Structure 1
Amino acid sequence: MASILISSSEKYSGKSSLCIGIGTILKDKGYSIGYMKPVGNMLVDVNGVLSDEDAEQARKVFDLKDDIKNITPILLTDNLVEDALAGVEKHLDKTILDAYGEISRDKDVVLLEGTGGIGGGAIYGLSDPQVASIVGTKILLVARYESIHAVDRILSDIELIHDPDMFAGVILNEVDEGQLEYVCELLVPFLENKGVKVLGVLPKDTTLRSVPISEIVEDLHAEVLAGSENLDVLVDHYLVGAMEVNSAIKYFRRTPNSVVITGGDRSDIQMAAIEARVKCLVLTGNLQPSAAVLGSADEAQIPVILVRGDTMSTIERMERLIGRARFRREHKLGRIVELINDNVDLKELMSLIGL
């Protein structure tokens, strides 16, 4: 039985997307797929049962029938944190190994997803390298490339893997089109000269980053005040309207396909956003905007949604939503599969997995 643990340099590197994409490709090739996220850190309630958001996505995409408690055997709850700090022995390694045994039964390959940040979970003895050691698998590292600092992170992350044979290689993700030549011609050879196998370089893709406004409404439990006929419009960036109004319009126009988050009492920023033709306005603090703002938004066909939370908590939710490839729509899954097929050395990757 083959396996791989897909880890990442930091949160939102594209680890979940790569995991889903690789699994889909292998499933299409006829392999039976098992999936685990051994340590769940993005907790969600599923019909009264605590689970992990990434694991739930994989469970639906792969149509998994395994017990949810085996798919994500460890959940990072407050109680687990307190027990770890108090030195309570929980035998978590045995819990993971037992779950892995169940998940791997009658499977050709098991994909294990890390927590987001290769060292995450170390306080419990469950960092990605520690989990890989427990189940006896290799680590594939996914690193989002936004600047040369990504190389520093990659080299530092590799230092955390105590066994060099455990490290399968790295995939560089979300590389801007203007940096692709630089990355492929300079950075990839540099890393390979350091003994780092680069299995793929994936360009940034707006299809994977984008979400419909309706999904934002659902995720933020928001009230739609205007523009309800345009909730299917896609957005792939969020901007925070906290500046002077004179600077706002230019700022908003520089980034198309954006949603603007601002306080419900900032009518000046709201009108600037509407004039700049942003895709959506998210108003925080449960403060109703003026009739003039709603009238202008309706005329411009720009959705305006109202949330109860403050601006900072809304930004945190938006960070989890925009830029993460949640595969609620078939075109996203098809796109990540296409990107992997075109830009990853699948033959080498399958060999490293053990297929």
Structure 2
Amino acid sequence: MTRSVYVTGIGRGDGRQVVELGVMELLTRQVDRVGIYRPLVHDTPDRIFELLRARYRLPQDPATVFGMGYEEAAALQAEEGQGALTARLVEGYLRVAEEYETVLILGSDFAGTNLPAELGVNARLANECGASVIAVIGGRDQGADSVVAEVRNAHHAYTNLGCDVIALVANRVAAAQVESAAGQLRRTLEVPVYVLPDEPALSAPTVRQIVETLGAEVLLGDDAGLSRDAMDFVFGGAMLPTFLSKMTPGCVVVTPGDRADLIIGALAAHSAGSPPIAGVLLTLDERPGPDILRLAARLAPGTPVLAVAAGSFPTAAELAGLDGKLGAGTPRKAETALGLFETHVDTAELTGRLSVARSERVTPMMFEHALLERARARKRRIVLPEGTEERILRAAEVLLRRGVCDLTLLGEEDAVRRKAGDLGITLDDPGLAVVDPQTSPLRERFATLYAQLRAHKGVSYELAYDVVADVSYFGTLMVQEGLADGMVSGAVHSTAATIRPAFEIIKTRPDAAIVSSVFFMCLADKVLVYGDCAVNPDPDAGQLADIAIQAAATAARFDVHPRVAMLSYSTGTSGSGADVDKVRTATDLVRELRPDLLVEGPIQYDAAVAPSVAATKMPGSEVAGQATVLVFPDLNTGNNTYKAVQRSAGAVAVGPVLQGLRKPVNDLSRGALVQDIVNTVAITAIQAQGEDGA
């Protein structure tokens, strides 16, 4: 039977989209196929559905998502009654429920709907769909006592109408009132209640939203600049020194277009990072001359400069009514929303109350969710040496907003913050540190340590002092000295530059013969572990056995039950030759060293993963046809195979993940996407969780 969850409210302005996004996140961690149903809709395409579809790669046909428009619903209810309206809307739900294991139902807006007794409409519909209810109550500009009263009234309203209320969420509560409201609600209601503070970044419009609302002309700026959040508006009329002192981080400077001094002054301040701004909005239909615009473009590349015909006062009036909106075009806001939800909601408790059966299939998205969840459970600090690289900064923003781990970025601090400012990223999270290896007090300590470690190679203190200023060496030494729990690099550095310092400083674990690597290959319905595809060109039999044993341990750490296939071009005793003999010897060594492991080899790839082939080539094997860890005989085979599967089968390849080091250091592909970096940092944090013996 399809399980459904109905997210609804009691009035307008509750910011319910944060909860809808958070609940969808929890559902997709458990269930492969989640459908969306919005019974009543203002316009299509619907902003929240488009966000959920883009973020969670939903294949659902939009035509099945929506019941009917509000005008049609109001007319139907007026003519035939609420029963007829409910019946029509339930028909739409049932069409979705036929196709999906779980359905997330998005309740009505309570804004411009023209529906009498709208709360009752939502309650009846939830009951008829057999859906559990999560009710969201807006708490903006209210004291704690008022929030508590509103939540209790909502609970009574929905339970009195027969709804199965599994949780309530008070949203947009003033930060100073959160603790008091939460404490009172825990004492007065048995159902879980979560209190979310008002988050300015969610309420802030993007610069693109300002352009669309005001019909502004974009004189300068790129897509990244237009996606910045406008955290404040500072109106310029004073002289430059006074004006600069009033600017705030993330503000939009609003000034008449003939004030070249304020335009250039604001952009110069942004370039210096004091403070970074979201953009400049010029009024009175005035445009700076081409020389000023060229200078502005050089001072702050990508920073938006907009122009409108209206004066400052009418422009201010329009800006005052703008509120930030979650949507497919605001992925950074989505990360902020999820971070807020995961910080203030007991996600384990709520997942239990959702009562959805976990799918046996493990999709790429479910695997990625699990990584972030496990990393977040016991936060670690990861050092990222490439602190001025755009993809690293964007990944850092995601990791910090989602609370996945604490981070240290390496690089000259002004350069890091200036680059972040250009991207519209504010580095003000308490979990973030920026360290410059050139000027850090740690440089002398690290030089002494490195000189001691490499004295047998003739490394003097003076040479070591120069070496440790390199970000890869500095980051590795931070891990070695316990100042960071792990390191991820390689977005712009070579593999050798990333792992050579680890070989010299951190070194191999006592139980590992070599350092090797694996990729997690996330296929449509399962996760396989491939090794070694990145480090060892031609391992001998002993090294191959070590790779297999390490890969099995890595798989188990990430909840992939290890069934190890030692791959070759022949299966069983059907072939011979030096290459096959190497794999056969390696398999025997694995059985000798780890008799508890399920291992088979030599075995061909098809016999390892396809049950039908295994039934013919190796019947009765506990590994053949169901292998989860695939060990390749050499780097050439492994690297080409993982890339072929990645491209041809559409698999998500997470890695390479290094194994065998005393402390976790991981390498990135220089073509890594932001999500690849996020996943690799999460894996590194999880590896680090095991380093303390916990």
TM-score (norm 2): 0.40
| Alignment match, 1:7 | 8
In structure 2, runs of 5+ residues without a counterpart are 271-276, 357-694
Alpha-carbon distance between aligned partners in 1 of 2:100 and 2:213, rounded to the nearest angstrom = 34
Question: Are the structure 2 counterparts of residues 56 and 95 from structure 1 closer, same or farther at C-alpha, using a change threshold of 3 Å?
Answer: farther
* 171, 174, 182: which one aligns with 1:173: 171
Alpha-carbon distance between aligned partners in 1 of 2:348 and 2:224, rounded to the nearest angstrom = 43
Question: Are the structure 2 counterparts of residues 239 and 154 from structure 1 closer, same or farther at C-alpha, using a change threshold of 3 Å?
Answer: farther
Opposite residue 285 of structure 2, the aligned amino acid is: Q
Structure 1 residue 105 and structure 2 residue 106: aligned? no
Alpha-carbon distance between aligned partners in 1 of 2:26 and 2:147, rounded to the nearest angstrom = 27
Question: Are the structure 2 counterparts of residues 74 and 289 from structure 1 closer, same or farther at C-alpha, using a change threshold of 3 Å?
Answer: same
Opposite residue 89 of structure 1, the aligned amino acid is: E
| Alignment match, 1:18 | 19
SS in 1 for 2:80: coil
Opposite residue 304 of structure 1, the aligned amino acid is: V
Question: Are the structure 2 counterparts of residues 127 and 303 from structure 1 closer, same or farther at C-alpha, using a change threshold of 3 Å?
Answer: same
Alpha-carbon distance between aligned partners in 1 of 2:67 and 2:124, rounded to the nearest angstrom = 15
SS in 2 for 1:168: strand
Of structures 1 and 2, the one scoring higher in RCO (CA 8 A, sep 6+) is 1
Conserved 8 A contact 1:260-1:273: no
Query: Where do 1:98-177 residues align within 5 Å?
Result: 98-117=91-110, 122-123=115-116, 127-146=121-140, 147-148=142-143, 149-161=146-158, 162-163=160-161, 165-175=163-173
The aligned length equals 331
Question: Are the structure 2 counterparts of residues 330 and 12 from structure 1 closer, same or farther at C-alpha, using a change threshold of 3 Å?
Answer: same
CA-CA distance at 1:22 after TM superposition: 2.0
Alpha-carbon distance between aligned partners in 1 of 2:232 and 2:52, rounded to the nearest angstrom = 26
SS in 2 for 1:94: helix
Opposite residue 251 of structure 2, the aligned amino acid is: S
Question: Are the structure 2 counterparts of residues 131 and 259 from structure 1 closer, same or farther at C-alpha, using a change threshold of 3 Å?
Answer: farther
* 59, 70, 73: which one aligns with 1:76: 70
Opposite residue 183 of structure 1, the aligned amino acid is: V
Query: Where do 1:1-355 residues align within 5 Å?
Result: 1-41=2-42, 43=43, 50-77=44-71, 83=75, 87-89=78-80, 91-117=84-110, 122-123=115-116, 127-146=121-140, 147-148=142-143, 149-161=146-158, 162-163=160-161, 165-175=163-173, 179=176, 183-184=178-179, 186-195=180-189, 197-205=191-199, 208=202, 213-214=207-208, 216-217=210-211, 222-226=216-220, 231=225, 234-239=228-233, 241=235, 253=246, 255-259=248-252, 271=262, 278-282=277-281, 287-291=284-288, 295=292, 298=296, 301=300, 303-307=304-308, 311=315, 314-315=318-319, 318-319=322-323, 322=324, 324-328=325-329, 332-355=333-356
Opposite residue 63 of structure 2, the aligned amino acid is: K
| Alignment match, 2:516 | none
CA-CA distance at 1:256 after TM superposition: 2.9
In structure 1, runs of 5+ residues without a counterpart are 44-49
SS in 1 for 2:79: coil
Question: Are the structure 2 counterparts of residues 124 and 340 from structure 1 closer, same or farther at C-alpha, using a change threshold of 3 Å?
Answer: closer
Question: Are the structure 2 counterparts of residues 15 and 232 from structure 1 closer, same or farther at C-alpha, using a change threshold of 3 Å?
Answer: same
SS in 2 for 1:150: helix
Question: Are the structure 2 counterparts of residues 124 and 61 from structure 1 closer, same or farther at C-alpha, using a change threshold of 3 Å?
Answer: farther
TM-score (norm 1): 0.71
Question: Are the structure 2 counterparts of residues 254 and 56 from structure 1 closer, same or farther at C-alpha, using a change threshold of 3 Å?
Answer: same
Alpha-carbon distance between aligned partners in 2 of 1:251 and 1:155, rounded to the nearest angstrom = 47
Conserved 8 A contact 1:66-1:103: no
CA RMSD, aligned part only?
4.4
Alpha-carbon distance between aligned partners in 1 of 2:46 and 2:227, rounded to the nearest angstrom = 28
| Alignment match, 1:47 | none
Question: Are the structure 2 counterparts of residues 338 and 229 from structure 1 closer, same or farther at C-alpha, using a change threshold of 3 Å?
Answer: closer
Question: Are the structure 2 counterparts of residues 193 and 230 from structure 1 closer, same or farther at C-alpha, using a change threshold of 3 Å?
Answer: closer
Question: Are the structure 2 counterparts of residues 19 and 133 from structure 1 closer, same or farther at C-alpha, using a change threshold of 3 Å?
Answer: same
CA-CA distance at 1:156 after TM superposition: 4.0
SS in 2 for 1:13: coil
Alpha-carbon distance between aligned partners in 2 of 1:229 and 1:165, rounded to the nearest angstrom = 45
SS in 2 for 1:14: coil
Opposite residue 168 of structure 1, the aligned amino acid is: I
CA-CA distance at 1:159 after TM superposition: 4.9
Question: Are the structure 2 counterparts of residues 117 and 229 from structure 1 closer, same or farther at C-alpha, using a change threshold of 3 Å?
Answer: closer
Larger radius of gyration: 2
Question: Are the structure 2 counterparts of residues 202 and 138 from structure 1 closer, same or farther at C-alpha, using a change threshold of 3 Å?
Answer: same
Alpha-carbon distance between aligned partners in 2 of 1:189 and 1:98, rounded to the nearest angstrom = 41
Deviation sequence 1:195-231 (CA, Å, 0-9, x none):
2634433455566556653564467653212456972
